[in-house]
């Protein structure tokens, strides 16, 4: 699974509508409205790197109110949730 974080600048008058449109794109698992320089952050989860082009370049970036995006591809996850899942492999509850 490939995970990418897409930082998004939008038309400020359409942030909620834009977030809804983006969240409906297959391959986008989450969309957050955030403070700071960016308006939204989307989390894309796809099977292969090539799928990122379809989700981000071909769909997300063409949502009408999207002005600019920057994408960061994750190498590894270090969350406690992931560590708990890894250590629980093979154990039945």
For residue 91, the model assigns a pLDDT of 54
How far is Cα 50 from Cα 87, in angstroms, rounded to an integer? 31
CA-based max dimension of the chain: 50
Higher pLDDT, 30 or 90: 30
- pTM of the model as a whole: 0.82
pLDDT digits (tens, 9 = 90+) for 68-88: 999 999 998 876 665 566 555
Phi, psi dihedrals of residue 16, rounded to the nearest 5°: -60, -40
Architecture of the 2-87 domain: 2-Layer Sandwich (3.30)
pLDDT digits (tens, 9 = 90+) for 45-62: 999 999 999 999 999 999
Buried-state track 75-84, b at ≥16 Cβ within 10 A, e below 16: eeeeeeeeee
How far is Cα 5 from Cα 8, in angstroms, rounded to an integer? 10
Q: How large a percentage of the chain has pLDDT more than 70?
A: 84
DSSP label at 56? I
DSSP label at 11? -
Closest listed residue to residue 12, CA positions, set 63, 69, 70, 66: 66
């Amino acid at each position: 699974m490939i995970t990418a974080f897409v930082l998004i600048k939008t038309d400020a008058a359409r942030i909620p509508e834009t977030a809804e449109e983006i969240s409906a794109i297959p391959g986008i698992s989450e969309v957050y409205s955030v403070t700071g320089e960016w308006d939204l952050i989307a989390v894309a989860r796809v099977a292969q790197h090539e799928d990122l082009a379809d989700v981000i370049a071909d769909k997300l970036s063409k949502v009408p109110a999207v002005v600019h995006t920057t994408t960061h591809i994750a190498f590894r996850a270090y969350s406690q949730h992931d560590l708990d899942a890894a250590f629980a492999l093979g154990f039945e509850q």
